[in-house]
Amino acid sequence: MTAQGIPTPPSGIPLPPIPPVPPIPGGGAPVPPKPPVPPVTQPTTPIPVVPTDPVVMTPATTQDPAVKDDNKTDDKKDEEETPIVPIGNFGKKSGFTTTITLPTHSLDFDENLFLTLLAGSISLNRAEKKQIIMSLPKLSQFQIDELIKIFQEEKRKFSELDVKHKEQLKKLENKHSAEWESIEMEMQQTQVSDEENTEADDIRKSLGIS
């Protein structure tokens, strides 16, 4: 054992180094100050500020009563130029009327609807339309119902073409409108002739002339 009271190791074995005793604060060697801890900063992305356009208040304008409404004028013009006979969606702004009276029959159907669809059909010509009218008393209920269904389907298909083929459909409508007016005039003349013949027969009967 040494003089300081440290045991002596066996011969041949070196002693480990003795760590130095740390200095006591307030006495002895000065204690170096602790290094400052750097502040922890988090990178932040600045939020961009979007500039807004100033709101401009515009005064309300009033239309001069002297200025005409072009849209209303155009609508009125379209109504005036719309032909009588409805084909597709044409003629929807005004009601359809006709002077034709159907022959006496025992069928159950809307006569005005039937005449409207018949007049507007572009799959039948003038002669075929007149033949259908004259042969109406010979038709069955099934036949008249099927005719109306066919005319309605034809009208629906042509109504889908109004936007893209308006000019072509308008020409067809004008053509069939003129043909229908021709049928009206012809049937009116026939009706007048029949009435005159009936009156003549009544006069002959009243006079005792066979």
Cα(83)–Cα(91) distance, integer angstroms: 6
Per-residue pLDDT tens digits for 94-106? 577 888 989 999 9
Per-residue pLDDT tens digits for 97-145? 888 989 999 999 999 999 999 998 888 899 999 999 999 999 999 999 9
pLDDT mean across residues, the chain: 70
pLDDT of residue 176: 83
Residue 12 is classified by DSSP as: T
pLDDT of residue 39: 56
C-alpha to C-alpha distances, 138 to 69, 85, 104, 106, 107, nearest whole angstrom: 53, 26, 10, 10, 10
**CB-hemisphere CA count at 13 Å for 119?**
28
Rounded to a whole number, what is the distance in angstroms from the first to the last CA of the chain? 178
C-beta of residue 145 within 8 angstroms of C-beta of residue 114:
no
**CB-hemisphere CA count at 13 Å for 168?**
8
Cα(170)–Cα(85) distance, integer angstroms: 10
Provide the percentage of residues in the chain whose pLDDT is more than 70.
47
The residue that leads in pLDDT, 12 or 195, is: 195
Q: Which of 137, 105, 132 is nearest to 121 (CA)?
A: 132
Would the pLDDT of 36 be above 70?
A: no
CB count in 10 Å sphere of residue 121: 22
Show Cβ contacts of residue 98 under 8 Å, excluding neighbours closer than 6 positions.
Answer: 115, 119, 180, 184
